Structures are given as structure tokens and as C-alpha cells.
Amino acid sequence: MRAYLIVFGMLLALFGAIAAFLYQQFAGMAAEDRTPPPITIAASVAETRLWPETLQATGTIRAAQGAALSTQDSGEVIAVDARSGAQVAVGQRLLQLNNRGELARQESQRAALKLAEILFQRDQQLLQQKSIPQTQFDRSRADLDVARANLAETEALLMNKQLLAPFAGTLGIVTARVGDYLEAGDNVASLQDFSRLEVDFALPAQHAPRLRPGLPITLQVAGIEGQALTAELTAIDSQVDPETRTLLIRATLNPANGLLPGMFATVTIDLQSAQTLVSVRETAITYSTSGDTVYVIEAAEGGLIATPRIVRTGPSADGYIAIVNGLAEGERIAIAGQNKLYRGAPVQLDEQAPL
């Protein structure tokens, strides 16, 4: 029995020593300062700037004169005078359909018209001599009018058998070939006049009171860099689209190289007025699907912390971006290093970073 007590006492002393050791270890760990070190960032102060008021939209470039060419009649193609990509003059023949039947009819009707003119002139003389009744003269005059009308109809049909350039311009790809049979309205080629280009775009109807012809416009077109693309607002639609509640706008482009009808363009309209807005460096904005965010540097107990704030951005230029709402003038924000920040993160400012 005494041996058991001795063993029990030894075990109790051993576990007591272990417990004391663990207590000292955990007490030391609890006393340690586990606050994360501050994150070094660069910051600047939000300031107000004067921003020109602009409106942005997306539009499509089109030629002031442009058309998809097609024939007015059907028939077999017997001649193609147009070459794809060629410059053509107004009235130039581009394509000829089979017109042999109309040509033969024209010759017959010319002969009939010549006979009708002879008979009319003869009956006119006889009527003056009172050698024929008035009814016979009237019949001769009617026959002459019918002959002229028949010939005019045939000549109109002959015109419909050929395709003429309605204006001077540049042809697209000619799809018709000699021997093809074309139905009336079949597309033959596109004809575009590049000397005057326009851009059509739509804006919400609420902006209508601020729009007027003559406003300057700048354009951005993919693939055309290093060239100033400008235009002038020339026309505003007379009604609002009842389905989209937008207003169609048209602007005339100033001459520029490389533009083609159908190109997509980003349009910026200068409303020729300015507004004062809070502005920050563009690098201060963190873009995400939940909204554009800036990290505001605020004073807290023991130092500075970063607080994310969603803002609504406006126009940008020269490395700055306007903040429409969500930020006040004079607030300090992070402009570099914010990819390491989170809500309440302790920060310290890099004094050597340019503000």
C-alpha cells in the first residue's frame, strides 16, 4: 500500500510540473504583441479640378452617300463594266442585262413613230384644206401620241436593263459575273463616297436639352491611333425612340485617313461647359464587379488604417479621374500598394513616394 502511495505522489508531481511548464508557455504567448505590421503605401489628397462636361456614346460610321446597288429588272448578265474597288463617276455603266428583245422592240416602235408622224403631218395639211373630217385628224394625233408613249416605255425598260452609278464613289466587291441570272433587287455591289463621312449614335433622351448642332466631337476608332479624329454635331432626330427612349444623333466627320463605313466608334461630345469635381490619381481606383473602390486613409487609435469606399467615377484625363460621388475634397487616399489592403488594415505612408 505504501508503494502505491509513493508512485501516486511521483505521478502527481510529474503532471504538476508539466502543467506549470505549459502554463508558463501559454502565458508568454498571450503576452506577445500579435498586431500585424503596418503596410507601407503611397497616398495623396483628393482635390477639386475643373472638368469639361462631356457625353459619351458608341456609334457607327457611315458614308453620307452610300448605297447597296441592285438592278431594277431581272435578266441574264451580258456585260460587267465595273471592277471591284474601282473609282466610278456618276452615270457610269456598271452592268448590262440581256436587252435584245427590248432593242428589237425599240427599232419597231421607232419605225411606227416615224410613220405616225408622217400620217399626222399629212392629215394636218388635209384638215387645213378641209379635205378630211376632224375625227380622222384626231385619230392621227392619238396614233402619234401612242407611238411616242410606246417608244418611251421601251426606252425605260432598256434603262432598267443596265445598272448606272447613282453618284461618284468607290465600289465594293462586285458579286455579279457574266452569265449570271439576276432577279430584280439582287445585290450587285456596294458604292460608297468616302469624301464625306458621318457617324450615327444614340443618347438618352434626358440629354436632349443640352444638345445642339455645332458641338465639337472627338472619336476613338479601334486600329486608328495617333490621328486626331474630330467631328461636328450636325443633326438631332425630331423624335425619341419610344422603345429605347433614346435620341438619334448624327455628326459629320472631318477628313481623316483609314476610316470606312461600318466602323465602330466611341464618341465624346464636348458640351462646352465645365464642372468642378473631386479628382484623384487614376491609380487610386480599384476596379471590380461590385463597384469602383478607393481606400481612404483614416486616423485610428495607435496609427492609420485603410477603409475601402465605393465611389462613382467620371471622366479621366492626364492621369487623373473625376469622382462624381463617394469622396470629399481633402480626404487622403491610397494611390499605390492598395492591392495589399483590406478593411481596417494598419498602414504607414511612404514619405518618399511622389504625391
Tell me the pLDDT of the chain averaged across its residues.
Answer: 87
Amino acid found at 286? T
Residues 152 and 11 in one domain: no
pTM exceeds 0.85 for this model: no
153 and 168 part of one domain: no
124 in the same domain as 53: no
Q: Which helix (H) or strand (E) covers residue 12, if one does? A: helix 2-31
Residue 27: give the domain boundaries.
Answer: 1-34
Judged by average pLDDT, the poorest of 158-167, 213-222, 255-264 is 255-264
Q: How many domains does the chain have?
A: 4
Beta partners for residue 315, in sequence order: none
Domain of residue 103, CATH code: 1.10.287
Specify whether 87 is located in the same domain as 149.
no
- pLDDT for residue 300: 86
Q: How far is CA 229 from CA 58, 216, 251, 266, in A?
A: 14, 11, 12, 11
86 and 175 in a common domain: yes
Residue 129's CB: how many other CB atoms inside 10 A?
Answer: 7
- Answer whether residue 199 shows pLDDT above 80: yes
Please indicate, yes or no, whether residues 77 and 168 belong to a single structural domain of this protein. Answer: yes
Q: What is the pLDDT of residue 255?
A: 83
Question: Do residues 237 and 208 make contact, with C-beta atoms less than 8 angstroms apart?
Answer: no
The CATH number that applies at residue 221 is 2.40.30.170
Higher pLDDT, 177 or 352: 177
Residue 181 and residue 214 in one domain: no
b/e 272-304 (16+ beta carbons within 10 angstroms → b): eeeeebbbbbeebbbeeeeebbbbbbeeeeeeb
pLDDT tens readout for residues 268-296: 999 988 889 999 999 999 988 888 999 99
pLDDT tens profile 25-61: 665 555 555 567 888 889 999 999 998 888 899 999 9
Looking at the domain assignment, is residue 190 inside a domain? no
- CB-CB contact of 249 with 237 (8 Å): yes
106 and 138 in one domain? yes
Residue 271's nearest CA partner among 57, 83, 101 is 57
Mean pLDDT of the region 216-235 = 88
Segments of the chain assigned E as strands: 39-45, 47-70, 75-80, 87-88, 93-97, 162-164, 169-171, 181-182, 187-204, 216-221, 224-236, 246-253, 264-281, 292-300, 303-317, 320-325, 332-336, 345-349
| Number of residues written out for the chain | 355
pLDDT at 213 over 50: yes
Residues 216 and 289 in one domain: yes
Above 80 in pLDDT, residue 12? Answer: no
Which CATH number do you get for residue 173?
2.40.50.100
